[in-house]
Every structure is written in C-alpha cells, then in structure tokens.
A and B are shown apart, each in its own frame.
Chain A
Amino acid sequence: MFDNLPLFVSTVAEGLLLTVEATVGGILIATVLSFVFGLAMLSRSRTVRVLARIYVEIWRGTSEVVQLLWIYFVLPVLVGYRVVPLVAGIVVLGLNFGAYGAEIVRGAVRSVAKEQYEGAIALSLSPAQRMRRVILPQALVEMVPPFNNLFIQLLKGSALLTIIFVHEMTYQAREVLIDRHIDQAWLIWTIVLLFYLALSILITIGMRALERWAGKLVGRKPSKTTSFVSMVLRSRTHRPTEVSP
C-alpha cells in the first residue's frame, strides 16, 4: 500500500521549490502593495484615496481564478507576448493579496490611539516623522497576526497556479501522479495536504518571531496586547473582511 510512498513524496517535492518561490514572491509584492495602498487610503488627498480604493475593490472583487486566466490568456493579446507562467502567478498573487493587505495596514494605522498623534504633533514632529517613528511601529504590532493569516491564504492561493501550468506541488500531483496511480489518490493528496500544512506552520512560526520583534521595538510584551483591536486582529481566521468598516 505504501510501496509508492517515496515516489509520491519525491514527485510532489519537485514542485516544492516553485510553490515556495510563488509564495515568497507573492508575499514580497503583496507586502509592498499593502503598505503603499494602505497608507494611500489614509491620504489627505481625495484623488489618492479614490485611486487606492479602486485598486483594492477591483483586485478583491474579482476572483483570483479569473485574474489568473485574464493575465495568462488575455494579457498576451494586449501586449503581444506571453508572460512566463510563474511570473504571471506571482504578479496575480501579489496584486490580489496586496489588496487585502492594504485593508490590514489601513485598519492597523487607524487603530493607533489618537493621543499618539496628538503627542507627536505636540513634539512638532513632521508628518513623515510622525508616521515613521510613532504611528507605524505601533501599528506594525497590530498588523502581524492578520498578515499571518493573509500569507497562509496566499500560500493556499498558490495552488491555483496549477491552472496556468506552473509545475508547483498541486500540479505535480494532478498532472504527473494521479493518472498513473489513481487507485492511491487518497495517499497522493494526503501527502500534498501535509506539505502545505508544513509550509503554513513555517509561516506561522516566522510571523510569531516577527510579532515578538515588532513588540520589542515598541517596548511591549506580545502576550500583553489585550486591547480589543488586537484581540480582533489576533484570532486566526479573521480574514481581512470584504467590507471596509
């Protein structure tokens, strides 16, 4: 029954690198976009706010599958050449999850106590200094747990790259293994699921470390953040909500 186990594990593992590349690439782009558009949504300029809001609504509102199909099948018609599947996938993951991340950044910055702004103004810090030295470090602590959720969502989303022929783990199982070993489908898919579970756990471990570091930065012990907002943000499932509060 388990004779083929080494074959299954090694074949799925061949896709591991691409899954990791797609996830890490997606996380990098998503993080940058989250901060850019999250802060843009808090801008004083109405135009900037509206533009950021349009980005967020479009990339959250259309399905990730549709976005992948669009960038892979439609964009080539528009620009004249085909995008490398992995690149297309990373770009979609980044843009899609960046839109959710922007809401996290916006929410976390807004959750910083008003007195902190007033204090910074009283110390006559410039708006840039105020954001960089007072507000963001505190907001960062609040952001880490929801970003943990988001990155796990992104990892899960990377499985969809199968449909644009990126040879990541799910593709390896579906296209390489299943047809030849259909009778052991349960074992193949269980292996794939365990690979993803392991990666999810790695992300969580990394984010816990980041949370402790961010906590120390503002002289806080992570376990003591029991404000209502941090409790809300902490619960693991709270996927960034679809609706802006």
Chain B
Amino acid sequence: MNDEFWQWDYFWEVFPTVVGDGLLITLQATVYGSIIAYVLGLVFALLRRSPIRVVSTVTWAIIEFIRSTPLLVQIFFLFFVFPDFGIRFDALTTGVIALGLHYATYAAEVYRAGIEAVPVGQWEAATALSLPRARTWRAVILPQAIPRVLPALGNYTISMLKETPLLLVIGVTDIAGAAFQQGSAAFRYVEPITIAGILFLVLSYSASLLVRWLERRVGTVH
C-alpha cells in the first residue's frame, strides 16, 4: 500500500460495497423507523390530550424521559435488555424500534402543534352537529391537522436518516458501518468514510428539497 492520501483504485474498489450494502440498510432503517415514529407519535399525542389526568401525565413523563436521554444509550438498552424478556430480534429490528420510539416523542410534539392549530370553531361545529368524539377526531380534526404537519415530520425523517449510523454500535452495517468495516479491513479509512459522508450529504440535501416542496404544497405549521 503506498502513502498517497487519496487512491482512486481503492475508492472504486470500496464504492460498490459501501453504497450497495450500506445504502439499503440505511434506507430500510429510516423508512421503518419513520413509520413507527409517525404512528406511535400520533398515539402519544392523543394520549397526551387524554381527559384522564393520570394517562396524560404519564405520557408526558415518558415523552420527556425518552427525549432527554441519548438515542445511543436507548439502543444499547433495548439491545441488551430485550433478550432478558425472551425477545430475540436481529440487530436491525432492535435498532429500528429504538429509532422509532425515540423519534415518536418528537413526532408527538409535531402532531400536538398541528392539532392545536386547528381553529376552535371546528371543534365547536363538530359539537353543534353532535358528532361523536371519535368521529370528530377522524373526520374533522385529524384530516386538517395531519397534512400541515407533514413537512415537520419530514424533517425528523431527515434527522433520523443521519442517526442511522448509530446502529453500528450493535453491529448493523448501514452506510457508515459498511464504510468503517471496509476501512478496518484494509486499514485505509480515507476513501470509504469520505464516500459515506458525501452520500449522507446527498441524501439529506435532496430529502430537504423534497420537504421544502411539500411545505409549499401543504403550507406549514409549527
């Protein structure tokens, strides 16, 4: 191995592995993690608004706790503690659950803001029409709240994308993990890690353009 800082031969050698193996895992983790976060986030948001005091307080405490502590430690927690309960997921599944759970607490706030942005008159009208509570949520409030929170949720998906490399600590080889593995194998980190960085930049920047387009389409709410 020569001492050149940058070797194109090596670059082209590792490029297919980093992109081929890593990209798929990164996208899988992001997509599945987002689905969990969006669904669970809505559940959190609704529980947070529960008229039963205990439910809303406990939900608030859970959200604050998860949000104030590192995702990395939560990943370790699930990875080491799941087996104690006889739950044996592969590392990627555990990681996706951790990502989804962590980001659900952010999504809950987004939904909350979206729900609060629905004008009071809508609630009053639903009451005046004596719609049942469930129907008010399903047919009046949520259809107005959700489209406007999509850009904000999209931003969290981008954040999540950039946090998928955390899963390398439990052996999931996403883009960064694959790059690191390649680097360790050849003891040359420059090219693979640079590829990983550029790939993340391209992915997150194009995703942010998508979110901006979405913002223009549906308007935005904070």
Contacts and interface: CB of A to CB of B under 8 A. Distances in A.
B68 A197 contact: yes
Contacts of A90: none
Contacts of B207: 242
B189 A170 contact: no
A106 to B, nearest CB: 16
Q: Label chain A's interface by main secondary structure.
A: helix
A2 interface: no
B21 to A, nearest CB: 16
A112 B92 CA distance: 46
Interface residues of B, number: 55
A178 B204 CA distance: 34
Given A73-B193, A159-B72, A243-B215, A65 B205 contact: no
A42 to B, nearest CB: 20
B73 A159 contact: yes
B197 A185 contact: no
24 contacts: A61-B162, A63-B162, A63-B197, A63-B200, A69-B176, A70-B194, A74-B190, A77-B5, A78-B5, A156-B70, A159-B70, A160-B70, A160-B72, A183-B84, A185-B77, A186-B84, A189-B80, A196-B69, A197-B65, A237-B110, A239-B159, A241-B155, A242-B204, A243-B215
Given A160-B72, A170-B76, A189-B77, A62 B159 contact: no
Nearest to B222: A232
Given A73-B183, A196-B70, A65 B168 contact: yes
Contacts of A159: 70, 72-73
B196 interface: yes
B154 to A, nearest CB: 8
- Interface-central residue, B5, B105, B155, by most chain A CB under 10 Å: B155
Interface of A: 57-58, 60-67, 69-70, 73-74, 77-78, 152, 155-160, 162-163, 170, 173-174, 178, 182-183, 185-186, 189-190, 192-193, 196-197, 200-201, 231-232, 235-239, 241-243
B26 to A, nearest CB: 9
- Interface-central residue, B69, B155, B201, B208, by most chain A CB under 10 Å: B69
B130 to A, nearest CB: 32
Nearest to B202: A61
Given A63-B176, A70-B193, A193-B74, 13 more contacts: A62-B162, A63-B163, A63-B197, A69-B193, A159-B70, A163-B168, A170-B70, A170-B73, A182-B80, A186-B80, A189-B81, A236-B109, A241-B155
Interface in B80-124: 80-81, 84, 105-106, 109-110, 113
B208 to A, nearest CB: 5
Contacts of A160: 70, 72, 166
